[in-house]
Amino acid sequence: MKRLALWSLLAVLATEGFAQVTVDIVFDQEQFLRSESLPLRVRIANYSGQTLELGTQPDWLSFVVEGTSGEPLARTGALPETNPVSLENSKTASVRLDLMPYYDLGVAGRYRVTALVRLPQFRETISSKPRNFDIVSGTVFWEQEFGVPSAGIPEVRKYALQQATFLKQLRLYVRITSQDESKTLRVVALGPMVSFARPEAQLDKLSNLHVLYQNGAKTFLYAVVTPQGDLIARQIHEYTVTRPRLQRNAQDQIAVAGGERVYFPTDIPPSEPLKVSALTNGAAFSNPLSTNAVSPTNLPASPTSSLPAPPHDGSSTNTPPSPLRPTNLRHAD
């Protein structure tokens, strides 16, 4: 009964008189791991013949999220504010945000989301068509408690390697939680993996997690994640004469031994352009990372990594880009 009333309300809100203003929800993917970032884009197209003033009032943009039982979910936090913008006729604007922190999406299942945009100058609210998405459970096959380096008593957290299947593709994630797992601090998507090989995982002296796992017929992905959930290294290594493996040197630093480093534009830190262009010259570039998942919330800056610089690779030491955050409205023709 509540569900019928909800959709009756939405049908009234989406009036035919303002069909010249349309609202759409765009996902980069439609399946997400529990506690993973859930980025979406709300696209607003204006063909009303007038300039729309958007973002001038609180809650001008809102969402209705239905759970697996069809009941609307209560919001767990206030949506981020956006700067006001004037949207001219025949133009479109988009707002991006991460839906996960604002709704209780901890139960695996299928959900439905609808965006509502208030237009005070027309005294109307326009709704988008509902979009479905899935929350899936992953399988934990490795975990380790660790202390976060600090001057005082260290905070104890837990790393877990977790796998989940999306559209028949197995993917690997790093989950960082409190010691009792009552709070998920970050979920970091590493990328696709093969089902027949078990990843290697080791912690360095700064409690950074080093992971090496097979993601293709002859390729291995090496990643380093900090206690705050920042991805500070990502490399591709190829099985040549020997198999790539994690190795700790005399200075207690962890690096990849064996195999051969292969350079890609997706490397973190970025590789030298000459090395990348030499690798991909004359051939179609095949991205070894097909996942679009993005790690969520804003967290404190990570401690300096103990990751040793790979020999003779010319890699930059710049910090990788910050994770996705809610953004203000953006124009698009």
Distances (CA, A) of 51 to 42, 48, 88, 91, 316: 18, 8, 4, 9, 46
What is the C-alpha separation between 184 and 275, in angstroms, rounded? Answer: 38
Better-scored residue on pLDDT, 4 or 224 = 224
Predicted structure pTM score: 0.65
Kindly provide the b/e burial profile for residues 165-193, where b requires at least 16 CB atoms within 10 angstroms of the residue's own CB: ebeeeebbbbbbbeeeeeebbbbbbbbbb
Residues with Cβ within 8 Å of residue 55, at least 6 apart in sequence: 61, 81, 82, 83, 84, 85, 328, 329
Can you say how many angstroms the Cα of residue 90 is from the centroid of all Cα atoms in its chain?
A: 31
Average pLDDT over residues 21-29: 92
Domain positions in the chain are: 2-135, 138-280
Give the tens place of pLDDT for each residue, 59-90.
899 999 998 778 899 888 888 888 888 999 99
Tokens 């069809």 locate to 70
Count the Cβ atoms, other than its own, within 10 Å of residue 70: 12
Class of domain 2-135: mainly beta
**pLDDT for residue 232:** 96
**pLDDT for residue 83:** 86
How many residues are present in the chain?
333
What is the C-alpha separation between 225 and 317, in angstroms, rounded? Answer: 15
Give the tens place of pLDDT for each residue, 213-223.
999 999 999 99
Better-scored residue on pLDDT, 197 or 285 = 197
Whether 126 has a pLDDT exceeding 70, the answer reads yes
Residue 289: Cβ-neighbour burial (10 angstroms; 0-12, 13-18, 19+): middle
Q: Which amino acid is at 187?
A: V
Tokens 């994640």 locate to 225
Query: Distance between the two ends of the chain, CA-based, in angstroms?
Result: 41
- Whole-number mean pLDDT of the chain? 80
CB 186 within 8 A of CB 173: no
Give the tens place of pLDDT for each residue, 292-321.
333 333 333 334 344 444 443 433 333 333
CB 154 within 8 A of CB 179: no
Most confident of 152-156, 288-292, 325-329: 152-156
